[in-house]
Each structure stands twice: as structure tokens, then as C-alpha cells.
């Protein structure tokens, strides 16, 4: 951390010199220039700029100016990135012709350069300035809200994702345990980013960090106190079938020495701009290793997971042959209704079918199932009335799932899932399917 702070101070010092150079060379936009025009002018300049100090300062000016944009300004900026900072077809043709005449390494390199959009170089240069990485992540988050309306922006999104896959490589990530002694800034982020089971203030957070609980997060050096993804863990003496006891604040904690089971009950991705960059699978495996080192007597590793896509699928699915005729209206009843016991058997059976048989591109349709099954987990148990919160009823009719991480079979399950589309299921799940 001290090394990062020293580097940050050095870069800021260089940028101060660079700002003076920019001002002397007239590269700072004059008063009266629109924010968006100024931003684009600086982006064009940065693409061809050679000076290190002034280049860092220019990138810093781009960051500051972007943050002044309103939603309309961001939209115009992204569209300019898609249209103006795009691959030049003539350069591609010329490079291809040169390689066709002489298939040398030099000409092959020329093809590689010609098919790379100039905005990639722009993003790399922006990333070099202090604060560049988190702002580019935020920028992609802003961009994501425009993709449906402006399909041409998918090219910009794909370029950013391509860079982020390299920049947020597993080798750069640091696993940290979050506890009550962690910096306040990190604790505040955990409260803000929790996406599965809302944390209701500091008392609730403290409860989730007691001796029978654990929280682990991945961090990136460029975002030192801002987690990328985190997982909340409960240490229990058995496999749980409901979420309320895990979240209960006035519980009697299970002494870690008496725990037999690790329960992953919440995984939260923290940044919309990092969508599609996989961290969770590495996180779970690293946490398993950490916990086995700390408590080698732990034997069972399971999740208690929601089924977020179940009721959305249920509302529009063809249920012929999957449920009795007289149950159709009941199982599709509005989510606000009290969960009725007489629908439990039908809904549990339908949920098992949804998890195992409903696919998206040959993988499980439900996003949580797709994640855990892709990690090599085993579909272990379904639980009725496991989440009676409004969100739990609305998403999954109160049903929750245990995915079992059998450490001896994870790789076998993973290979079977991706190679043959096979899902490892328990006898209990098979009974529900029949």
C-alpha cells in the first residue's frame, strides 16, 4: 500500500509539470468551448501525443471533463467513440494486401494494428493516469445503460471488456478477509454493494462479521479500497434450509470448532462496468482454500442460493405436462400473494425442472444456477419457504437451493457440464423431477 501511495504521489507530481506544459502549448480548451467538444478534442490529441508528463496531464483532464458530462453528454461522447474512433477499413485492406504480397512477421503485425480501433489506444492511455482505472470501469457502467437503444455502442463495450479481461486478470487480484477491523471505507462499500440480502446498517454488518461468519473480497491494486466482488459465509453445524436463521442478529453463534459446514449465502459483484468479467468462481475456490487452512476439520461446502429467474420463467412458460391443470392458476398467482402450502409440491417440481431442463445456449437458464454449475457444483437440495421476504417470494416463490461443492468431484462436474451439458443432481432433486 505504501508503494502504491508513493507511486501515486510521483505520478501526481509528473502531472503537475504536465499541466504547465499543456497550458504553455495551448492544449487546454479556451473558455466558451462546449464540454463535449472539449472532451473529444483532448481525446484526439491524446491519441497522437508523445510527451509523458503532458500526456498524463491530458489524460487527467479527460477524466475530469468526462465527470462533468450529464446523461445526454455521455450519450454523445459514447456515440463519437463508436463512430469517430473506429477501425479504418482502408487501413485494413492495405495491411491485408501487404501481407498477401509478403507474409512477413512485420506485415502480420500491421494487420493486427489495423484491426484495432483507435479507442483501445485511447483507453490504455487514460488508464495510465491516477484514477484512470476506476473511472473507465464507471464509464462502462454508464455505457451499459445505452446498449439497448444504440446497438452500435456494443463495439465500444466489447473493446472495454477486452481490455478489462486483461487488466483484471486473476494474477492481479488480492483476496482479503473483511472483518470489523477493516477500514471504514471498505465496510461502507460492503453495505452499499450487497446485492442479494440487503445489509441494514452497521449493526447488521457487525452481525455478519461475528466469529461464526466470514466475508472475503477481491481487490485490484488500482482500486485499493473498492472491492470487485465479495462473498459472505456462515459457519454452521449442518446444511441450512432457510435464509432467516443465517441473517438473524440475536443468534447464538456456533463456535468455529463445532462447525462442520461452510455456507456461501451471498455473492455480490460490485461494479456494473465489470459485467462479464468472471471473478466469483476464483473467489469461491480461493475462499475454500483459506477456510480449509484455518479450519481443516470443515468437510461440507454448500451455498444457500436464490433462484432469481424462476417466477419470470414461470409467468410465460408452457407448463403442459409439467403441472396439473387445476394448479396452473395457483402456481402463477401474483407474487404478492401469501405463499400457499398446497402449491408447494407443484412449485418445487417446477423449480427443479427449471433448474435442470431449461437452458440458454445449452447452459442453465437461471443465472445463479449457471454460475455454480459452471464452477462444478452439484445441485443438492431445494427448500420450500426458505426465503419469505417480498424479494424471495417475487423471484422464486420462496424457494432456495443448496449447491454442493464436493471438492473431489468439482472438476469432473465442471467438465461434464460444459462438454456434455450434464448437470450433477442429487436423489432428492431427481425425485422432484419425476
**Does residue 24 surpass a pLDDT of 60?**
no
pLDDT reported for residue 55? 80
Distance CA 394, CA 334 (A): 8
Task: pLDDT band for 32, please (50, 70, 90 cuts).
Answer: very low
Task: pLDDT band for 213, please (50, 70, 90 cuts).
Answer: very high
Q: Report the phi/psi class of residue 251: left, alpha or beta, with left for phi > 0 and alpha for psi in -120 to 50.
A: beta
Let me know: does 115 contact 122? Beta carbons within 8 Å: no
Burial (0-12, 13-18, 19+ Cβ within 10 Å), 67 = exposed
Residues 359-369, mean pLDDT to the nearest whole number: 93
Domain 171-303 has CATH 3.40.50.1100: no
pLDDT reported for residue 199? 96
pLDDT reported for residue 389? 93
Task: Please give the residue that has the higher pLDDT: either 240 or 361.
Answer: 240
The structure's pTM equals 0.87
Summarize pLDDT for 275-297 with one digit per residue, the tens.
999 887 889 999 999 999 999 99
Nearest 5°: CA angle at 125, between 119 and 127? 105
Q: How many CB atoms lie within 10 A of CB 296?
A: 8
In 3-state terms, what secondary structure has residue 289?
A: helix
pLDDT reported for residue 333? 79
Instruction: Find the catalytic residue in 114, 305, 396, 398.
Output: 305
**Does residue 3 surpass a pLDDT of 60?**
no
Q: How many CB atoms lie within 10 A of CB 9?
A: 11
**Does residue 212 surpass a pLDDT of 70?**
yes
First to last CA, the chain: 56
Residues 245-267, mean pLDDT to the nearest whole number: 95
Residue 372 annotated in active site = yes
* C-alpha distance from residue 425 to each of 110, 403, 417, 433 (Å): 51, 9, 11, 10
Summarize pLDDT for 229-247 with one digit per residue, the tens.
999 999 999 999 999 999 9
Distance CA 227, CA 223 (A): 7
The two most distant CA atoms of the chain are separated, in Å, by: 80
Distance CA 366, CA 2 (A): 43
**Does residue 17 surpass a pLDDT of 60?**
no
Domain 2-167 has CATH 1.20.140.90: yes
**Does residue 5 surpass a pLDDT of 90?**
no
Greatest mean pLDDT among 28-32, 277-281, 385-389 lies in 385-389
Instruction: Find the catalytic residue in 220, 271, 372, 383.
Output: 372
CATH homologous superfamily, domain 310-433: Malonyl-CoA decarboxylase, catalytic domain (3.40.630.150)
Residue 383 annotated in active site = no
Distance CA 51, CA 68 (A): 26
Task: Please give the residue that has the higher pLDDT: either 264 or 21.
Answer: 264
pLDDT reported for residue 130? 87
Task: pLDDT band for 302, please (50, 70, 90 cuts).
Answer: very high
Q: Report the phi/psi class of residue 36: left, alpha or beta, with left for phi > 0 and alpha for psi in -120 to 50.
A: alpha
Task: Please give the residue that has the higher pLDDT: either 25 or 400.
Answer: 400
Let me know: does 400 contact 242? Beta carbons within 8 Å: yes
Residues 20-34, mean pLDDT to the nearest whole number: 53
Q: How many CB atoms lie within 10 A of CB 6?
A: 10
pLDDT reported for residue 337? 52
pLDDT reported for residue 16? 58
Grid cell for residue 135:
473511472
Could you check whether 2-167 and 310-433 share the same CATH topology? no
**Does residue 30 surpass a pLDDT of 90?**
no
pLDDT reported for residue 331? 86
Q: What percent of the chain has pLDDT over 70?
A: 90
Nearest 5°: CA angle at 303, between 185 and 259? 85
pLDDT reported for residue 49? 75
Q: What is the mean pLDDT of the chain?
A: 89
Task: Give me the residue spans of the domains in the chain.
Answer: 2-167, 171-303, 310-433
Task: Please give the residue that has the higher pLDDT: either 412 or 328.
Answer: 412
Task: pLDDT band for 206, please (50, 70, 90 cuts).
Answer: very high
Amino acid at each position: 500500500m505504501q508503494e502504491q501511495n508513493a507511486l501515486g504521489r510521483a505520478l501526481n507530481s509528473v502531472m503537475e509539470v504536465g499541466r504547465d506544459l499543456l497550458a504553455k502549448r495551448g492544449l487546454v480548451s479556451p473558455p466558451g468551448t462546449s464540454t463535449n467538444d472539449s472532451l473529444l478534442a483532448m481525446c484526439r490529441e491524446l491519441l497522437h501525443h508523445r510527451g509523458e508528463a503532458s500526456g498524463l496531464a491530458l489524460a487527467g483532464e479527460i477524466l475530469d471533463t468526462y465527470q462533468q458530462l450529464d446523461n445526454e453528454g455521455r450519450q454523445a461522447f459514447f456515440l463519437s467513440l463508436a463512430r469517430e474512433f473506429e477501425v479504418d477499413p482502408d487501413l485494413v485492406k492495405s495491411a491485408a494486401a501487404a501481407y498477401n504480397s509478403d507474409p512477413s512477421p512485420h506485415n502480420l503485425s500491421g494487420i493486427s494494428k489495423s484491426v484495432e480501433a483507435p479507442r483501445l489506444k485511447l483507453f490504455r492511455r487514460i488508464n495510465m493516469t491516477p484514477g484512470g482505472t476506476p473511472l473507465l470501469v464507471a464509464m462502462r457502467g454508464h455505457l451499459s445503460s445505452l446498449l439497448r437503444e444504440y446497438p452500435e455502442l456494443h463495439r465500444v463495450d466489447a473493446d472495454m471488456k477486452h481490455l478489462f479481461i486483461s487488466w483484471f486478470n486473476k494474477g492481479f487480484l488480492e483476496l482479503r478477509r473483511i472483518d470489523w477491523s477493516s477500514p471504514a471505507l471498505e465496510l461502507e462499500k460492503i453495505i452499499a454493494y450487497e446485492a442479494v440480502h440487503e445489509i441494514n446498517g452497521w449493526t447488521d454488518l457487525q452481525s455478519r462479521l461475528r466469529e461464526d461468519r466470514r466475508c472475503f473480497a477481491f481487490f485490484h491494486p488500482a482500486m485499493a479500497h473498492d472491492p470487485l466482488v465479495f462473498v459472505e459465509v456462515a459457519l454452521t453445524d449442518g446444511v441450512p434450509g432457510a435464509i432467516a436463521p443465517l441473517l438473524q442478529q440475536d443468534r447464538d453463534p456456533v463456535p468455529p470448532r463445532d462447525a462442520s459446514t461452510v455456507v456461501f449465502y451471498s455473492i455480490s459483484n460490485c461494479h456494473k462496468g465489470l459485467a462479464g468479467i468472471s471473478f466469483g468462481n476464483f473467489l469461491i475456490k480461493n475462499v475454500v482454500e483459506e477456510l480449509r487452512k484455518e479450519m481443516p476439520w470443515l468437510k461440507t461446502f454448500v451455498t444457500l442460493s436464490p433462484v432469481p429467474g424462476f417466477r419470470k420463467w414461470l409467468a410465460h412458460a408452457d407448463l403442459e405436462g409439467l403441472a396439473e391443470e387445476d394448479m396452473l392458476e395457483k402456481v402463477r398467482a401474483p407474487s404478492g400473494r401469501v405463499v400457499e402450502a398446497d402449491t408447494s409440491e407443484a412449485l418445487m417440481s417446477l423449480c427443479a425442472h427449471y433448474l435442470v431442463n431449461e437452458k440458454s445456449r445449452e447452459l442453465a437458464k437461471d443465472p445463479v444456477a449457471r454460475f455454480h454449475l459452471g464452477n462444478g457444483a452439484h445441485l443438492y437440495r431445494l427448500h420450500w419457504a426458505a426465503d419469505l421476504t417480498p424479494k424471495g417470494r417475487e423471484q422464486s416463490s420462496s424457494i432456495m437451493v443448496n449447491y454442493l461443492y464436493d471438492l473431489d468431484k468439482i472438476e469432473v462436474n465442471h467438465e461434464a457440464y460444459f462438454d456434455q451439458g450434464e448437470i450433477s443432481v442429487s436423489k432428492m432433486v431427481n425425485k422432484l423431477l419425476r
